Structure 1
């Protein structure tokens, strides 16, 4: 992917996939897709592996809990159905958090118009893995409680890994910084993250149920295990794109929120004007 250096766009300087100015929701989503496109090989490959592992974990929990094609739960399996949903929510939040370790590496150079290769780094990998595991555990508890707390958790911790990787703060400070940034501007960051999740969630549900509904029209009946296998395959494929895209949105949103509320765009412009390395301005 070619990055454009210091060109004008909509009143702001465009140095990469992200203009140096506050963005609308649509522009944020576009920037996230552009970031994903620029590092598609690594992000999609990693997303595919994690999405397949997720479906393998969830398959035994799902079989026999709901009737295809619309997956309404059986009356005598409500507890197991809710457990499967909760584990699914936990794996989602953990995977997106883990992928943030890669997308955050790409976002800084992309903002500055620099080419970069993202890779797994030893020390940083450990911290990201711990945060992803903690997010998954917290996500499971929030989901199994009643479901609603999970969405609040998802909205507030999305910038944890970008804060760790881009701002280079410690894990504990990254958690607090994510919550602070997400709540600024009337919870703008939190709502943007939820909007991205809902958009991709609609695609995933439609694809999984739609695939089963089409097959159900052609086949007289499907056993539950086959139905869930088909749905799981469809979800694994769409999650291969959805999870990295959501992680890209987190990285882009982190930088945009810093521009909107901390003047990062001004700091970077001054660094360029005075000949200082702009990358140093990303670090707190």
Structure 2
């Protein structure tokens, strides 16, 4: 596979993950720039909540702060969904070009024209609020929300549909082919979640060994927050890249997008027009 190119055919799950990582690597500089800023803002927001509600290093709640502990959980999942969706607006632009064998330069990736930034921001806020409320509701509804709304940003940017249709289209595409899209999104999320948790919690023990003493709560969460900022700055754009690639692959698998692009090329028509859903 050429680096950064989305293959013009249906893919296996392994190929989807490879294509997502390749897309991220090709556009790493602009994606990391945005992801670092968003991940740092997220940790700054969560830091005061963690100090007052969770025992380090394993996020066990204080018995007298269970109410605020659940607020922290909801805020964490809300910001996470919002960030992935915002980054999805960028990765969708890159993926659409990659599918056609092109590569957008960083300036073009950030260009206002065609970005639909306002609508992407609106959908990101909606997804974030929905995910946060779902996490607060004993967490179980979060699985459904995360699995079904992830294609909204690619639908906005690639398919060029309106926000309401983008959300509906995201749900519809996620359940096609036996919930394949939803399953792949959850698989990738929890696969990367183990890495994120291990790196976040795993920084505390070595630091205490180096300092020779136990760290106070504020320092523990500061160190863990820094570690999570670093790892999330990589994981969030990779998950957003997967959303964009999976969206296009689902269209090829269920709507014949690859066939339409091939016909356009054979007849001399612009293949980019086939990405737009009418």
TM-score by length of structure 1 reads 0.92
1:179 maps to what in 2?
A: 171
CA contact (8 A) 1:159 1:250 kept: yes
Q: Does 1:208 align with 2:200?
A: yes
Q: Distance in 2 between matches of 1:79 and 1:208?
A: 24
Q: CA deviation at 1:235?
A: 0.2
Matches within 5 A, 1:84-123: 84-117=72-105, 118-121=109-112
Q: CA deviation at 1:216?
A: 3.1
> What do you get for the CA RMSD once the two structures are aligned?
1.5
Q: Does 1:19 align with 2:7?
A: yes
Structure 1 gaps of 5+ residues are: 5-15
2:220 maps to what in 1?
A: 227
Q: Distance in 1 between matches of 2:262 and 2:238?
A: 28
Single out whichever of 242-251 and 131-140 deviates more from structure 2: 131-140
1:246 corresponds, among 223, 232, 239, to 239
Matches within 5 A, 1:1-284: 17-117=5-105, 118-121=109-112, 124-218=116-210, 219-284=212-277
Q: Give the secondary structure class of the aligned counterpart of 1:243.
A: helix
Q: Distance in 1 between matches of 2:184 and 2:265?
A: 30
Q: Distance in 1 between matches of 2:274 and 2:20?
A: 21
Q: CA deviation at 1:264?
A: 0.7
TM-score by length of structure 2 reads 0.94
Q: Distance in 2 between matches of 1:156 and 1:115?
A: 28
Q: Distance in 1 between matches of 2:103 and 2:135?
A: 39
CA contact (8 A) 1:112 1:278 kept: yes
Q: Distance in 1 between matches of 2:268 and 2:95?
A: 22
Single out whichever of 166-175 and 19-28 deviates more from structure 2: 19-28
Give the total of aligned pairs. Answer: 272
Q: Distance in 1 between matches of 2:256 and 2:5?
A: 18
Q: Give the secondary structure class of the aligned counterpart of 1:19.
A: coil
Q: CA deviation at 1:3?
A: 5.4
Q: Give the secondary structure class of the aligned counterpart of 1:255.
A: helix
Structure 2 gaps of 5+ residues are: none
Q: CA deviation at 1:120?
A: 4.5
Q: Distance in 2 between matches of 1:200 and 1:188?
A: 18
Q: Give the secondary structure class of the aligned counterpart of 2:82.
A: helix
> Runs of 4 or more off by more than 6 Å in structure 1?
none
Cα deviation, 1:27-84, whole Å, max 9, x if unaligned, reads 1111001111111111000000000000001111110322222222222222222211
Q: Distance in 2 between matches of 1:151 and 1:214?
A: 33
Q: Distance in 2 between matches of 1:282 and 1:201?
A: 32
Q: Give the secondary structure class of the aligned counterpart of 1:20.
A: coil
